[in-house]
Structure 1
């Protein structure tokens, strides 16, 4: 038996359910940049969930900074609950976006997470704002 097929393959129905659920949680950088460049920003906000210093260093144009450590009912009272909050952090090895999305969801907000974070965004050649290019560090 090959390693690839060492475990039973899911049924097509189970695979469809799994991958649909995965897409409900994540956005890829290409989809996001295409929306941003086309001006299609209705319905969502891009959120940097790391510390303000990290946000100053490099950020996606139009993103807002909501550090996950500061997310409370009081600090988010001004946010629009009808929007989806697309959270990102440094990279796939940083979990500030996951922590931010979790806190926002616990507070009753709709969330998604951007795959790859700001380092994936910049590596793909997409535009960014800020004082420093990568070597980006987590800076949570």
Structure 2
């Protein structure tokens, strides 16, 4: 008996390798961001949520820049080749993708941190607050 999982065969290994390799050019994960922030980060982590959500709890070292406020003039504070990593509330939120799209439209290198705040907390990492 065939299940819904096996009804459609898996992609050939070459196609799967290509697909999954490309995903890493678009996103990173909470663990890798946490590890990089513990050293000298080679990217800028952008919290693209609202100021009130940022104040309530954000990833230490993140810069607040709501996705709707990402503009060419604001991005001029960083060199053109700076890699930005965006995050939002989590998998149920598309703010990170909205921010990433705005950055890409400005010609800036960008990745999304998969999982957002939800993923960060799931990994057991702490948030900073503005208190």
Distance 1:131 1:64 in 2: 12
- Match of residue 15 from structure 1: 16
Name the count of aligned residue pairs: 130
Distance 1:113 1:93 in 2: 14
Question: Quick check: 71-80 or 106-115, which moved more?
Answer: 71-80
- Match of residue 28 from structure 2: 27
Matches within 5 A, 1:40-79: 40-42=40-42, 44-79=43-78
**CA RMSD, Structure 1 to Structure 2 (Å):** 1.4
Q: Are 1:88 and 2:93 counterparts?
A: no
What is the DSSP-based 3-state SS (H/G/I as helix, E as strand, rest coil) of the residue aligned with 1:46?
strand
- Structure with the bigger percentage of helix: 2
| Structure 2 residues without counterparts, runs of 5 or longer | none
- Match of residue 129 from structure 1: 128
Distance 1:30 1:71 in 2: 26
Deviation by residue 1:32-82 (Cα, 9 ceiling, x = unmatched): 112222x1312x111101111111111111110111111122222222221
| Structure 1 residues without counterparts, runs of 5 or longer | 133-140
Q: Structure 1 segments of 4 or more deviating over 4 A?
A: none
Provide the TM-score with structure 1 as the length reference: 0.86
Provide the TM-score with structure 2 as the length reference: 0.92
